[in-house]
Chain A
Amino acid sequence: MTRLILRRLALGVLTLFLISLVVFAAVLALPGDAATAILGKEATPDRVAALRDQLHLNDSVITQYLDWIGGVLTGSFGESTSTQQPVSELLSDRVANTGFLVFVAAIVAVPLSIGMGVWTAMRRDRPVDHVLSNGSLVLAALPEFVIGIGLILLFATSVFHWFPAVSLLAPGEKAWSDPSVVVLPAATLVLAVTPYISRIMRGSMIEVLESEYVTMARLKGLPERTVIWRHAVPNAIVPAIQVTALQLAWMAGGVVVVEFVFSYPGIGSLFIDAVDNRDMPVVQTITILAAAIYVVLNLLADLATIAVTPRLRTEAR
């Protein structure tokens, strides 16, 4: 088992290294001279020279990469080319807001979708199952900004006026001091990921419910609750772990659009501003963080799968 885990860790590190090459290469893709591309044709030679200096464009490509990755690994991501602030400072102002939003969304979405999967599997082919599975087919199709704007029209502006349409927060104010601003963005994320997790959970649960050991447990006269929660769910949950990790990693991208829809002051809207200003240090930092989150979540999902699968746990590899 240790070798299996070490192998996964090594692959994760290799993937992260290759990811950093892709993200770094984005600066090389700037057409012509990167500094001129960012500043535009009218920029004074002094400003171009200063920016070239700031982006270390005068060094060789390998030195540039080593400088950059060294900074990323030690938490100094360079300076924003549009505000001249350190990127880490820009991020730290907003990372808590995004973290809070994603945390709220995850803590609602994961139990809700797992529960919904189990529940619909137990009521397979009954009306509830049909309604919910068609509902999730519709939800799964909708882009997250469509869900978000639908929620705004429904709960903020046109039908009910329960929540704010725009997540206005004073500078420095944290999202949890006014939880009403989080409700609609978090609900958007929940609605976007729930169909995927509940669908895989339903499928895997149906398979398990038809297995012989579940029949056996029932024949032994165990109460239905024990059969479901002690015997069926722990086995059915294995495929759902991977999908849950994928969906949580998806939120790193989904949050970009959702924060823009609600003008929520987090990493996502910072990212959009940075793309608008072609502020490469900020764009690169957020991109590499999002990709790293995916690698880490996948690794955690692998470890969780090993932990709940006795065959893998005891395998003497």
Chain B
Amino acid sequence: MTQPQTVEQALDLVPEAGPEAPPPRLQRFQWLGILREASRLTRTRIGLAMVGVIVLIALFGPLVAPHTPTEFIAAPNHGPTSDAILGADALGRDVFSRFLHGGLTVLWMAAAATVLGVVVGTAVGLIAAYSRNWLDGVLMRLNDVLLAFPQIIFVLLAVSAIGPKLWLIVVTVGITHAPRVARVIRGAAQQIVERDFIKAEEVAGERRSRIIMQGLLPNVTSPLLVELGLRMTFSIGLVAAISFLGFGLQPPTADWGLMINENRLSITVMPWGVLLPVLAIAVLTVGTNLVTDGIARAAIGLERSNE
């Protein structure tokens, strides 16, 4: 440890910290500044609009759907009629109604997995960066072990052991995000840990949990926000892919990933059953990625203007 040994040394450090280190308190609402900057960029606005449309469909679709998702209304793969404006699926159910009912699950699962992964990953990253000792080594080694599993393979390993449960998918997607987030946050926090204001707080006898939460955390907001967006994009892809593979929601429930799976064999006669959910997932992930890119650009812009 490089902590100062005497009071004189400690006092030596404090004045030095003045001009170069940013006052930690002023950094507290940095994330608001980044988001405000980001919201001025066209790409962020386009991204938000795309996400907004899909979220609205997922939330209010079930209320306006003309049919229930499971009722049979026409012959299998029947073309569009006035009753079923986009035709019937491989079992004769209304494609449009199933589309309107099928978005909510992927959204909440992806959001929950993202929050879990980012919270755990940030905690691990900050603790590893702050500890600067054997704990850092142990945490990073465990990180490497988890990183070695391709995310989808790790989730499916758990699914084959425990079964296709939604909570299991949320938890394992979150777990696979955590080491990836931890690596980024640790990298960002390592530079902050060396700053003098952290040392000053240590000397002042501040609790370690408080230094991490109030000294380190506010200063890694930019990578944290970017990770949040990035992990959301990947969560949507993973959750939808697992459902598409048949290990998410089980039939006859309506779900976008599952719909693609159910209708892909009749893709030539009835492309809507595949096209609609594929488009929705595409618009959603491109939207979240545009927002993430906007946030990343805003964060870099703010950093440059601070220098």
Contact = CB atoms under 8 A, between A and B. Distances in A.
Contact of A15 (B144, B156, B275): B144
Instruction: Determine which residue in B157, B159, B274, B281 has the highest number of CB atoms from chain A within 10 A of its CB, and name it.
Output: B157
B268 to A, nearest CB: 5
A29 interface: yes
A19 interface: yes
A140 B278 contact: no
B153 A280 contact: no
Contact of A26 (B161, B236, B260): B161
Nearest to A25: B161
A261 B274 CA distance: 12
Contact of A140 (B156, B241, B245, B289): B289
Contacts of B204: none
10 contacts: A19-B145, A19-B148, A19-B149, A26-B161, A140-B289, A142-B237, A257-B152, A275-B159, A279-B160, A284-B157
B227 interface: no
Instruction: Determine which residue in A143, A144, A150, A292 has the highest number of CB atoms from chain B within 10 A of its CB, and name it.
Output: A143
B134 to A, nearest CB: 15
B158 A142 contact: no
B234 to A, nearest CB: 8
Interface in B262-299: 264, 267-268, 271, 274-275, 278, 281-282, 285-286, 288-290, 293
A18 B141 contact: yes
Contacts of B274: 149, 153
A302 to B, nearest CB: 12
A272 B152 CA distance: 11
Given A15-B145, A26-B157, A157 B278 contact: no
Query: A-side binding surface: helix, strand, loop or mixed?
Result: helix
A109 to B, nearest CB: 17
Contacts of A272: 156, 245
B281 A143 contact: yes
A77 interface: no
Given A275-B160, A280-B160, A290-B149, 5 more contacts: A141-B286, A257-B244, A284-B157, A291-B148, A294-B148
B223 interface: no
Contact of A271 (B145, B156, B281): B156
A287 B162 contact: no
B161 A142 contact: no
A35 interface: no
A254 interface: yes
B162 A253 contact: no
B148 A280 contact: no
A252 interface: yes
A260 interface: yes
Query: B-side binding surface: helix, strand, loop or mixed?
Result: helix
Contact of B271 (A153, A271, A278): A153
Contact of B285 (A30, A142, A150, A249): A142
B48 to A, nearest CB: 14
Contact of B237 (A31, A143, A292): A143
A42 interface: no
Given A18-B145, A256-B152, A157 B286 contact: no
Interface in A23-60: 23, 26-27, 29-31
A171 B141 CA distance: 42
A140 B234 CA distance: 10
B161 A250 contact: no
Given A26-B157, A137-B293, A252 B278 contact: no
Interface residues of A, number: 54
Interface residues on B, range: 35 or more
Contacts of A165: 267
A146 B151 contact: no
A11 B140 CA distance: 11
B161 A252 contact: no
B247 interface: yes
A250 B146 CA distance: 13
Nearest to A280: B160
A146 B160 contact: no
Interface in A252-273: 252-254, 256-257, 260-261, 271-272
Nearest to B233: A141
Contact of A143 (B149, B162, B241): B241
Contacts of B271: 153, 157-158
Contacts of B154: 287
A144 B241 contact: yes
A278 B160 contact: yes
Given A31-B162, A280-B160, A290-B153, A143 B268 contact: no
B182 interface: no
Given A144-B241, A153-B275, A250 B150 contact: yes
A283 B289 contact: no
Contacts of B245: 257, 260, 272, 275
B128 interface: no
B246 interface: yes
Contacts of B290: 137, 141
A216 to B, nearest CB: 27
B157 A146 contact: no
Instruction: Determine which residue in B145, B146, B161 has the highest number of CB atoms from chain A within 10 A of its CB, and name it.
Output: B161
B281 A290 contact: no
Contact of A253 (B152, B163, B268, B278): B152
B175 to A, nearest CB: 11
A131 B104 CA distance: 33
